[in-house]
Amino acid sequence: MLALVVAGAWSVDSLGINLATIAKSLDNAVAFIQRMFPLDFPPMVETVGLVFETLAIVFLATFLSVVLSVPVALAAANSTARGSLSQGAARTLIVLARAVPDLVLAIVFLRMFGLGATAGILAMGIHSVGMVGKLYADAIEELDDGPRESIESAGGSRGQQIFSAIPQVLLPQIAATALHRFDINLRTSVLLGYVGVGGIGLAIADALRTLDYRRGMALALLVLILCIAVELLSGAIRAAIMRRSGGAVVGGTWSDRLFNRGATGLSGDLRLTPPWTAARVRRFVSGGVILVLLVASLWRVDVSSGSLWDGVLALPDTLGLFLPPSTGGALGSLVEQLLVTIQIALAATFIGAVLAIPIGILAANNVVANRAVRSFFRMLIVVVRGIPELILAIIFVVVSGLGAVAGTLALAVGAVGLLSKLVADSLEETDTDVQDALRTAGASEIQVFFGATLRQSAPAFIAHTMYLLDSNIRSATLLGVVGAGGIGFLLLNASRVNQFDVVTTVLILMVAVVLAVEALSMWLRTVVR
């Protein structure tokens, strides 16, 4: 960890990020603000259409990720895997889906299916399996395996074990994880607009390519409002789902609960017509809403089965464009920009951690007694988290110019929103009995914080920081498409001039770096524990 801190500080200095650099950019910032106002929003009909198209793309991508993740998670979890071979294959799929950037997947699918929403839906949906599938598999492994073993001992098949026992506690986790991934995919959809996926992202890209900052930043503000609204709504829904489930759902199989079979009246007789309880109404309404949203989303983006089939048939030819990998005679530039990408990630993680840790501490309920202070910092976290990193990168590119400085500052600001929330949540999840014991012994609040609260949270802090570094390496690659430095700029240029074999080489380099960081993160978490 000390080595990573030193590397982060060195990266900040090496990239030339200092107060003098920021001060020199103030004139550009003022000029940018003057060119930005007054904001030029599209006509209302066009605005509503862009919002609906974006939400439809994100909903379909998230729905696809859930559909793909459930069987993958069942194959990856220890209690439901068919064997070590299939389990290893499922785990490998999860790792690869997470390691391959959705931008690269979008480039491949755009080549297969052409410009439009289809490529974005498939790219985000498949990439999301890396996160959603892992969380589902972890949730299955954490379940009480007694119900499944009971069905197995009674002669139940694997399918009966899965569909009768596991959904009792997994359904709330499925819904909560899907909502969280919806938030992430909404931000990602803006980035994919730069390679031809529809929605607000494509409209922003078109506006900024023509230097129409008034229209571009008006749409960026619209994205910010949309992200914050979705964040608050999905957070409230997730909290309600987990609160109602209480961490577990009991009382029969999932089908019994859906139709309320087995309910008895005061006399103990079986009711053939189940009562319409509030819980049953919620289940049917939730299922109906999901079905309506699915149909509406498919209608809005107009996904053609014919184009899908044509794209699948063209898969061998498409893969032939990407294989074998090639450096295009620019191996030196690729390695140099890869190192810049790693520097950007290290510097952004360092700056983000320095800013985020105190903000997260001030937002924790069990650390700060003043409710107004906690609420202020919680709202600050929500606002910062709502700003897509692509929008931040665009602003910093205009203000500070093309290059690594813009990418680092954008990721550093984004890190504040992510890491500060994780820090606050980790502090609030600590054992309060230990803190009360120190207070009883006469310790001051500062002693309680450093002696009990912070010490319990230290492993989580390290895990969250390593996750942030891992995330920043991927994001640094993606932000290169808007000129924010790193290997992403070479990636976009290679795709634009049809050097798809170079795209494959960039992908291999990125996967290698991501896997190395993942291995380091796993080792550190094991050592700290």
Q: How many angstroms separate the CA atoms of 336 and 223, rounded?
A: 34
Q: By the 8 A CB rule, do 92 and 98 touch?
A: no
513 in any annotated domain:
yes
Q: Are residues 104 and 67 in the same domain?
A: yes
Q: Are residues 276 and 343 in the same domain?
A: no
Domain assignment of residue 184, given as a range: 39-305
321 in any annotated domain:
no
Which helix (H) or strand (E) segment is 52 a member of? helix 44-76
Q: Are residues 508 and 528 in the same domain?
A: yes
Q: Are residues 88 and 235 in the same domain?
A: yes
Distance of CA 47 to the CA centre of its chain: 25
Q: Are residues 386 and 507 in the same domain?
A: yes
pLDDT in tens, 422-478: 888 777 777 777 777 877 888 777 777 777 777 777 777 777 788 788 888 878 877
316 in any annotated domain:
no
Q: Are residues 13 and 156 in the same domain?
A: no
Task: Tell me the percentage of the chain whose pLDDT exceeds 90.
Answer: 4
Domain count, the chain: 2
320 in any annotated domain:
no
Confidence bin at 256 (pLDDT 50/70/90): very low
Once rounded to an integer, what is the mean pLDDT over residues 221-226?
Answer: 85
Q: Are residues 1 and 129 in the same domain?
A: no
Q: Are residues 7 and 150 in the same domain?
A: no
Hey, how many other C-beta atoms are within 10 angstroms of the C-beta on 442? 7
Q: State the burial class of residue 55 (Cβ atoms within 10 Å of its Cβ: 0-12, 13-18, 19+).
A: buried
pLDDT in tens, 475-490: 887 777 777 777 877 8
Once rounded to an integer, what is the mean pLDDT over residues 257-280?
Answer: 52
pLDDT in tens, 125-139: 999 998 888 888 877
Residue 275 is part of a domain; what is its CATH number? Answer: 1.10.3720.10
385 in any annotated domain:
yes
Q: Are residues 280 and 145 in the same domain?
A: yes
Q: Are residues 452 and 358 in the same domain?
A: yes
Q: Are residues 94 and 44 in the same domain?
A: yes
Reported in sequence order, the residue ranges of 337-418 that DSSP labels E, i.e. its strands, are none
More confident residue, 104 or 263: 104
Domain end, chosen from 276, 305, 334, is at 305
364 in any annotated domain:
yes
More confident residue, 279 or 30: 30
Q: Are residues 33 and 60 in the same domain?
A: no
317 in any annotated domain:
no
Given CA atoms 502, 504, 505, 507 in this order, what sign does their dihedral have?
A: positive
Q: Which of 513, 164, 146 is nearest to 342 (CA)?
A: 513
Three-state SS for 264?
A: strand
Q: By the 8 A CB rule, do 30 and 369 touch?
A: no
Given CA atoms 225, 383, 407, 25 in this order, what sign does their dihedral have?
A: positive
In the block, residue with structure tokens 């665009």: 394
503 in any annotated domain:
yes
